[in-house]
Amino acid sequence: MKIRLRRARHFFDVAALLSVRKTYPLSPEFEAKTRERFEEEMAAPSSERWIFLGYDQRGEAVAYAQLLLREADNDPELARAGEIAHIYDLRVCFDRQGEGIGRAVVEGLLEEAAKASIEVMTLGVENHNPRAIKLYENLGFETFKVAEGRTENEWVFYMRRSTALSRARSNG
């Protein structure tokens, strides 16, 4: 799967981000909040956060994801300027899941981070998200700590790997 990543920087990118988000259930109230969140996040300095849209070969926005470059959950093991970037808010269009888009987006993020000389990529994934866990494991991410989630029986696995692409495991 070939996916082109493009930094979302302009007000019109909010519509594309929302079009991906809206392939999942989204009440009008939550849509307004999500729009506000995207606008705020896009206004953040480039040294803090990069927001990417992923486009398929037909030029359709099919995914988005962010890299937090300085700070994630106030934990220096998750993000540290120039050294560790944290994947945040990865989402593939609901009707395009399972096509390898998620994998292509994460590979693109690894490349972007490596280009910026960032050596380590981290992320957090909840135990009830087997698809995401499989995706990250396929790409060679390994759990380095576990934290309690927001609800009972919810756990967050914090995973990391080097940004060197040669370390990605083959997809079989």
Ligand X SMILES: CC(C)(COP(=O)(O)OP(=O)(O)OC[C@H]1O[C@@H](n2cnc3c(N)ncnc32)[C@H](O)[C@@H]1OP(=O)(O)O)[C@@H](O)C(=O)NCCC(=O)NCCS
Minimum distance from CB of 66 to ligand X (Å)? Answer: 11
Distance between CA atoms of residues 33 and 141, nearest Å: 32
Which residues between 93 and 132 bind ligand X (CB under 6 A)?
97-103, 125, 129-132
The span of 9-17, 34-42, 66-74, 87-95 binding ligand X (CB under 6 A) equals 87-95
Q: How far is the CB of 96 from ligand X (least distance, A)?
A: 7
Chain-centroid distance, C-alpha 169: 19
Using alpha carbons only, give the angle 15, 18, 19 rounded to the nearest 5 degrees: 85
Residue closer to ligand X (CB basis): 71 or 89: 89
CA–CA dist 99, 30 (Å, integer): 28
C-beta atoms surrounding 42 within 10 Å: 18
> CB 124 → ligand X: shortest distance, Å?
7
DSSP state of 70: S
User: Residues interacting with ligand X, by CB under 6 A?
Assistant: 90-92, 97-103, 125, 129-132, 134-135, 138, 171-172
